[in-house]
Amino acid sequence: MDEERIAIVTGASSGIGRATAARFARRGLRVVAAARRKDALDQLVAEAAGGPGTIVPVAADMTTPRAAGKLLEAAEREWGPAAVAVLAAGRGLPGTILGSDPLRWAEIIEVNYLSMLEQLRAFGSDFRQRETAAARDIVVIGSTAGRQVSAANPVYGSTKFAVHSLVEALRQEVCGDGVRVTLIEPGFVRSGFQDAAGYDMQWFAAVTEESGPLLVPDDVAATVEFVVDRPAHVHLDDIRLRPTRQRI
């Protein structure tokens, strides 16, 4: 990887985003790490202290106006233009169409879909205008639930289906300007995701029993690192990874 590149990672207070920011810092990158929980970001910064990279924490709710633009400005203020954006902020929603809580539908669509659309617009338009042959990467964390319809979590899954289509559309829009847009589709990852979504942990224990060992966040972070490590003329556009024993 070009260690000179400046990275922005959303969802950096927990799980996949956190593991990615930590990995980047271990590689010596300068990282703007964003999430709502500042105390968790401060903990990440403390753990990375003394290592080769630098992490600057930015408390941000990605559903608020211009959230992505403010992260680009934070990078610029600290060091210069960002060239890597890893979009890992998101959350789940348990339940079927009949069984999920309708009062939570708007919230999940807002964070997983509308805010992602705005982030893609902001990072896409910023990265495409840079006149450089160096790699610029937008890496989006989708889901196997956005690839395979499941009656178990269709509301969450449909936000990921929608995001997958946006990622491919943005790839087509900006590839000519040398910007790589990559979708990563993990299967089950044990992270803060299950608690934040309010999963039935008995159900999740059965999933773990059937499909485990599950992925850990760093398995996905290592995939992100592999993607952004490719030479500038090589683009991996879509990677799916699952626990070996996960059937669908």
Ligand X SMILES: NC(=O)c1ccc[n+]([C@@H]2O[C@H](COP(=O)([O-])OP(=O)(O)OC[C@H]3O[C@@H](n4cnc5c(N)ncnc54)[C@H](OP(=O)(O)O)[C@@H]3O)[C@@H](O)[C@H]2O)c1
Binding to ligand X in span 170-189, by CB under 6 A = 186, 188-189
Residues 221, 20 contacting (CB under 8 angstroms): yes
Q: Which of 53, 192 has the CB closer to ligand X?
A: 192
Q: What are phi and psi of 163, to 5 degrees?
A: -65, -40
Give the interface segment with ligand X, choosing from 24-32, 86-94, 119-127, 171-179 (CB under 6 A): 86-94
Q: Which of 135, 189 has the CB closer to ligand X?
A: 189
The Cα–Cα gap between 27 and 5 comes to 11
**Which residue's C-beta sits nearest to ligand X?**
15
DSSP string, 115-132: HHHHHHHHHHHHHHT---
Q: How many CB atoms lie within 10 A of CB 4?
A: 12
Q: Which of 178, 217 has the CB closer to ligand X?
A: 217
112: DSSP letter: I
Counting contacts by CB under 6 A, is residue 70 touching ligand X?
no
Counting contacts by CB under 6 A, is residue 57 touching ligand X?
no
Counting contacts by CB under 6 A, is residue 119 touching ligand X?
no
214: DSSP letter: P
* 199 classed as catalytic: no
C-alpha 16 chain-centroid distance: 7
113, 123, 127, 156: the active-site residue: 156
Residues 23, 99 contacting (CB under 8 angstroms): no
Smallest gap from residue 152 Cβ to ligand X (A):
13
In the set 158, 182, 191, 223, which binds ligand X (CB under 6 A)?
191
Counting contacts by CB under 6 A, is residue 62 touching ligand X?
yes
Q: Which of 127, 199 has the CB closer to ligand X?
A: 199
Task: Verify cis geometry, omega within 30 degrees of 0, for the bond prior to 213.
Answer: yes
Place of tokens 């879909």: 113
Counting contacts by CB under 6 A, is residue 63 touching ligand X?
yes
Smallest gap from residue 126 Cβ to ligand X (A):
19
Among 146, 173, 180, 177, which residue's Cα sits nearest to residue 160?
146
- Identify the H or E element spanning 84: strand 84-87
In the set 17, 53, 95, 154, which binds ligand X (CB under 6 A)?
17
Structure tokens of 87?
């979009």
215: DSSP letter: B
Q: Which of 233, 247 has the CB closer to ligand X?
A: 247
Give the interface segment with ligand X, choosing from 54-62, 71-79, 124-132, 227-235 (CB under 6 A): 54-62
- Active site residues per annotation: 156
Residue numbers of the site for ligand X (CB under 6 A)? 10-17, 35-37, 40, 60-63, 88-91, 111, 141, 143, 186, 188-189, 191-193, 196, 217
